[in-house]
Amino acid sequence: MRIHSVCVYCGSRDGGSPTYATAAEALGTGLATQGQRLVYGAGDVGLMGRVARAAQAAGGTTFGVVPEHLVRREVAKTDLSTYVVTETMHERKKVMLYNADAVVVLPGGAGSLDELFEALTWRQLDLHQKPILILNIDGYWDPLKALVEHIVAEGFAGVETAAALTWIDSVEDALTMLRN
């Protein structure tokens, strides 16, 4: 399956390490260079803004989705190729996932976890079979990986749930996987 469009979940803040920002910018540039559309939360702040601006600077296509109540809070980026305003967060997540062929998760907070777990749950329920890549920059997501393994070990999910997540340590490896 060719991946034309990639949904990126990431923080609306830059986080505590400059490597997160570097990774977001490299991912945005790489997606554009590979001819893959960026689908994301339409924010112009934090890692969200960085990945989008980098994709745009590299000539990429961008598809942003923001719920109405976050237009001001996340400083919505309206100069995207496609800009969609939804009524609710749930609708935002649905539109983002349905308009992508794969998911990449950069460092982020509660919102990124919410998006990830909804995509993972939908995959567990056979609502999609899209690849979900966890971009584990500097081990940021190591505690999450341990938690997922714990959930499986304790019998609250099958091994297929853990297997639905692909853990990647570098942007280059993620781009290679998305290209192949």
Q: What is the pLDDT of residue 90?
A: 94
Task: Return the CATH number at 104.
Answer: 3.40.50.450
Give the span between the Cα atoms of 166 and 168, in whole angstroms: 6
Provide the domain count of the chain. 1
Question: What are 176's strand-pairing partners?
Answer: none
Q: What is the dihedral of CA 109, 57, 18, 138, to 10 degrees?
A: 70
Residue 119's Cβ-side half-sphere holds a number of Cα atoms within 13 Å equal to 30
Q: What is the pLDDT of residue 75?
A: 77
3-state class (DSSP) for residue 55? helix
Q: What is the pLDDT of residue 74?
A: 65
Q: What is the pLDDT of residue 126?
A: 94
Which residues fall within 8 angstroms of residue 70, CB to CB, at 6 or more apart?
43, 76
DSSP type of residue 132: E
Q: Are 36 and 7 in contact (CB under 8 A)?
A: no
Q: What is the pLDDT of residue 72?
A: 74
Q: Which residues of the chain have pLDDT under 70?
A: 74
Q: What is the pLDDT of residue 106?
A: 98
Can you give the residue range of the structural domain that contains 88? 5-179
Q: What pLDDT, in 10s, does the model give residues 35-57?
A: 999 999 999 999 999 999 999 99
Distance of CA 21 to the CA centre of its chain: 14
Q: Are 111 and 12 in contact (CB under 8 A)?
A: yes
